[in-house]
Structure 1
Amino acid sequence: MKSSKDDNNRISKLEKRVEKLENAVFKGSSSYSVSKNTLEDTLVKEVNKIPIQHLVVISLKLNGKQTRDEIKKSLEDWGKVFGNWFRGGNFNNRLIKMNIVKRDDKNKDGDDIFVLTKKGELLANELIEKIRSKK
């Protein structure tokens, strides 16, 4: 039979674990969150020097699967003016046909959801590393 002391010790350990998790979630102190925010700060500062197709690749890397509208929203948030880049063949010719991005699924509205290929993942990592080195 376990003693009351053992129970108190377990409860104390659980409370400490919960506190650490709450701090990571609510205060944004996880290393991924800090790293992503720092990268996005640099993206905003350098946005006019980065080609749109590179920003699309980075958006898919940072945010995972997205529709074209979700990708556009990321670019807008970073301050990139993309005009009619998504209306022409740019997306298909520069990203899909080059096997950097692929269609993965459709959302509930029937819009295509895009994801990076392995080649796209490697490119995204290279682009992110270049951007981080500019800080």
Structure 2
Amino acid sequence: MPTTTSFFTDLARTRHSPRQFLSTPLPATDIRGVLEDAQTAPSNSNTQPWNVHIVSGGARDALSNELLKAYEEDRTSPDFTSDYGEGMYRERSYQHAAIVYGARGVERSDREGRKEVILDNHYGASDES
């Protein structure tokens, strides 16, 4: 049995958070398991501040198409700001963007190229993970 420290270390160092998703549906038992685990997550004053909506099939396709359309028409409404103001967080954001966009050959001045990277980063589907 691993120690709490080694378990956390293994978890933190091996985690992977892909931004893209597989095109294969997730089994309902897996979704149910994730939701059951989420019920045990801590929240401020046990407020459990989430609402979950699960869509699949045609409803998922319609939602995906609407999100893509909203992005293309610049009608998005993020739940949080990505404006880091001034200082080290803004600088870190710029450094990270330079790495991500640079790896794709996209200059900061290339607005259309940046939109394509963002679109792929947030809405892209692939058969790889």
**If the TM-score is normalised by the length of the shorter chain, which range does it land in?**
under 0.3
- Mark the structure with the bigger radius of gyration: 1
Q: Which has the higher helix share?
A: 1
TM-score normalised by the chain length of structure 1: 0.27
Normalized per residue, the structure richer in strand is: 1
